[in-house]
Structure 1
Amino acid sequence: MPVRPLRPLIALGVALAAGAALLFGAPAQSGEPQPLPLGATWPNAQRGSIPSKLPDGSEYSPGLFLDAHTSAGTVQSADARTLRLIVRQADGTVRELRKVPAEHRAPFAALTSSANTLIWVESVRGKPELWTGGITGAPKARLLTTDVGAMQFYDSQYDLVIEGGHLHWAASAAGDRTEFRSIPLTGGKVTVTSEPGTWALSAWPWAVDGQTAARGATTLRNLTTGQTVAVPTADRTVAACSPSWCQMVSLNTDGYARIDLSHPDGSARRKVAEGTFETAIADVAVLDRFEVLARVGPQSDLSGNQELLIHDLKTRRTVLVSPDAGNISYRGGVLWWSTGDQSSFVRNSLDLRTI
């Protein structure tokens, strides 16, 4: 599966700055407000935590949280011979959707859902397939299609998009082109259109270009109407966009990261963070409100983890979610991360839809 090409570009200067901060300390930010505590700021937000292992001792890796307490993900057997795709309920009960030999297979990936439908990618000997099944009850897991093209994934909630009874995804094509592919959720023929350039899906029906470009995004395109929107760009700045917000990451005069957000037309621009920050997830301003950030913290040199923060665009406040977070992920309104070390850790979740 392709890896995320954009976030490393965004975080390059940040990583250098973070290393310097560990040695010399971050520059003083005069007048910068301190992050607010999560519990006091969002007391009604739904939160949860689950151990990294099932009761039988097998390792569990969530790929999607349906809410703060219910997730779907991959289980590897203790002998590493099988992989299972399960839905783990709030009470700890498990529903198995698939069980396959681990040999020649990658873990279930790119999970997405709508209503009672779960869709995921299985790779057999490096060849991806799309599967679907019911989150609760019928229908049973079934192969949707093997006609997927050279699927392009960017660790985004939009790698697979369910809309209008169809599943949509992007694939690379010859001649520096991107294929936009779709199939009915009931199965059938895959429809393919293509555009020059390297594109990724965003909130439907939009796509954004610049996935492998050093400067990031330059254009949003509506795949239904053909409308295009040029997005803000500047020298020494990497841009990433959704249809509602664009994120611009640059280096300040001290060599530290500065993260700004504006609407795609350039309006409502504001500074979100400055210092040893980086973007923590691929998606920009999720739910059109929350910018998810990571920052080198006091424990980073020992744990390798970072502070996890959220900037609320509605209130213009920054909230400290966790002082020591690793493996940060987001899909469909729920943010999750791990705390602890490799031998003993838990995964924590926060449903941003409940704020």
Structure 2
Amino acid sequence: MTLVSEGTAAVGETGGRRRFGIAASVSLVVALVAGGALLIAGPPGGGPKPPPARLTAAAAWPKVVRADFDPAMPDGPLFSPLRFLDTATAVGTAPTNDARSVRLGVRDAAGFRELRKLPLDDNPQFEAIAVDGDDIVWTESTDGQPRVRIWHASRRGGPATLLTADTGNAIFFGNQWDLAISGGVVRWAAAGGANTDIRSVALSGGPVGVQSVPGNWSLSAWPWLVDENERRLRNLEKHWDAEVVTSGPETATCSPVWCRVMVMSGDGLARIDLMHPDGSARRRMAGGDVQAAVDDVAVLDRFEILAEPGPDADLTGTTTLLVYDASTSRTIEVSPAVDGAFTGGGLLWWSTGGNEDDVRWHVLDLRTT
């Protein structure tokens, strides 16, 4: 039985790696279910066939929307995007020009709209961001106020408002579901001893609901959870579990729709496969010289974001940014030398330029491929 989700989903790269209150980039909240190919038989004595030859992004997606994003603010400091809303609009942070405070805000062609300003000495952290339509929600903590607080603002304007400070021992994995909006409700996970608390609050505010689930879980596309060992998926609304099917020396990182499978050999990573959680539609995405570039699995239930270090990667710190398209089994080269890549809301963005003074951002809307 192949699992099909009502939304996209992703979890972190390795099991058993809970992180408490650690800053992370954020989250996809739109869904596009792409069909998988049938299981590809491998050559004698090997695994699934390698994917066809690579294409450039221009050749594969001639109508895709992409843009360059200059991080220089009008008053001098550099803007660091945390989440792109479209190819021209991002939520992110920038220091004040006196370097005393950090501003969180929305930047677009019209300028910068400040949502929050916190003293730099308090080490402010914006751990997760979720967007649904005009609603922007984020988590915030400081050294002086370590408990995570959740804030809300409208993209259309108006002041930011505190949704809740009743967040429990919030946990974040650096994927799109650390903070998620569904049906007018914001959800996140919190550690609860031997249990995981799935906490929620309405976008309009009010009391926090808590659903305690035995074991260690992370949020996925609602109503799904993924266990810390990536071996089970749980549907909280239908009250049933699904096992992830793997075999041999391999580990899987799963959403309700796809799993990224790291196949190991005696020498380390042998290849990376993609499959449905029940083991069907399995195919090889890449060899052992390629890495997952982001924690999210199969963005928009279709695109795996990969990084291929070059021969000088140890010196330059850059990798080739690749996208594996599950709908065509093709690998697309997006950029030959990137410093870091991120996903959210169906967009992919990455930085180039190396040092902070020369950094440039680039964004591609995968929804337009």
> Is 2:234 the counterpart of 1:221?
yes
Find the aligned partners of 2:51 and 2:344 in 1 and give their Cα distance: 30
Q: Are the equivalent residues in 1 in contact too, given 2:136–2:155 (CA < 8 A)?
A: yes
Query: Counterpart of 1:289?
Result: 302
Match of 1:334 in 2: 347
Show the counterpart of 1:18.
none
1:70 to 2:84 alignment:
no
* Residues in 2 aligned to 1:92 and 1:40: alpha-carbon distance in whole angstroms: 32
Give yes or no for contact 1:182–1:191 (8 Å, CA) kept in 2: yes
Q: Deviations over 1:280-307 (max 9, x none)?
A: 1111111111111111124423320111
Relative to the length of structure 2, the TM-score reads 0.83
Q: Given the alignment of the two structures, is residue 108 of structure 1 paired with residue 126 of structure 2, yes or no?
A: yes
Note the residue ranges of structure 2 that are not aligned, 5 or more in a row: 1-10, 17-48
For 2:262 and 2:187, the matched residues in 1 are separated by 29
Determine what percentage of the aligned residue pairs are the same residue: 44
- Retained in 1: the 8 A contact 2:82–2:93? yes
- Work out whether 1:197 is the aligned partner of 2:210: no
**Structure 1: stretches of 5+ with no match in the other structure:** 11-29, 211-215
**Which residue pairs with 2:150 in the alignment?**
130
Cα pair distance change 1:9/1:222, threshold 3 Å: closer
Instruction: Tell me whether 1:186 sits opposite 2:200 in the alignment.
Output: no
Amino acid at match of 1:314: S
Q: 2:56 aligns with which of 23, 37, 40?
A: 37
User: Match of 1:213?
Assistant: none
Structure 2 distance, partners of 1:47, 1:99, is 30
Aligned counterpart in structure 1 of residue 105 of structure 2, from 86, 90, 103: 86
Which amino acid in structure 1 is aligned with residue 170 of structure 2?
Answer: M
> Residue 193 of structure 2 corresponds to which residue in structure 1?
174
In the alignment, which of 135, 140, 160 is matched to residue 141 of structure 1?
Answer: 160
Q: What amino acid does structure 2 have at the position aligned with 1:244? A: V
Which has the higher mean CA deviation after the structures are superposed, 158-167 or 73-82?
73-82
Report the Cα distance in structure 2 between the residues aligned to 1:309 and 1:192, rounded to whole angstroms.
39
Task: Return the match for 2:13 from 7, 22, 26.
Answer: 7
Separation in 1, partners of 2:312, 2:64: 26
Alpha-carbon spacing, 1:302–1:107, altered in 2? closer, same or farther (3 Å): same
Letter in 2 for 1:133: A
Partner residue, 1:98:
116
Q: Check 1:68–1:193 CA distance in 2 against 1; reply closer, same or farther (3 A cut).
A: same
Matched, 1:60 2:87: no
Output one character per residue of 1:141-166: Cα deviation in whole Å (capped at 9) or x when no partner. Answer: 01110000111111111111101111
- Cα 1:207/1:31, change in 2 over 3 Å: closer
The Cα offsets for residues 68-122 of structure 1, whole Å up to 9 and x where unpaired, read as 2211111112333111111111x25111112222222423331111111100111
Contact kept in structure 2, 1:245 and 1:284, CA below 8 Å: yes
Q: Deviations along 1:1-41, whole A, 9 cap, x unmatched? A: xxxx953679xxxxxxxxxxxxxxxxxxx987442111121
State the Cα deviation string for residues 304-330 of structure 1 (Å, max 9, x = none).
011110000111100001111122111
Assess if the C-alpha contact under 8 Å between 1:74 and 1:107 holds in 2: no
Instruction: Tell me which of the two structures has the higher relative contact order, counting C-alpha pairs closer than 8 angstroms and 6 or more residues apart.
Output: 2
2:333 to 287, 308, 320: 320
Q: 1:55 to 1:302 in 2, by over 3 A?
A: farther
2:175 aligned residue: 156
1:209 paired residue among 213, 216, 227: 227
Query: What is the identity, as a one-letter code, of the residue corresponding to 2:254?
Result: C
TM-score scaled by length of structure 1: 0.86
Question: Distance between the aligned counterparts of 1:82 and 1:261, measured in 2?
Answer: 44
- Count of residues in correspondence between the two structures: 325
Q: 1:336 to 1:118 in 2, by over 3 A?
A: same
Cα deviation, residue 124, structure 1: 2.6
* Amino acid paired to 2:104: L
Whether the aligned pair in 1 keeps the contact of 2:127 and 2:172 (CA below 8 Å) is: no
CA separation in 1, counterparts of 2:165 and 2:51?
52
Structure 1: how far apart are the matches of 2:93 and 2:127?
A: 9
Name the CA distance, whole Å, in 2 between partners of 1:132 and 1:195: 27
- Separation in structure 2 between the aligned mates of residue 306 and residue 92 of structure 1, nearest angstrom: 33
- Paired amino acid for 2:238: T
Q: 1:242 aligns with which of 246, 255, 276?
A: 255
Tell me which residue corresponds to 2:324: 311
Shift of 1:255: 3.5
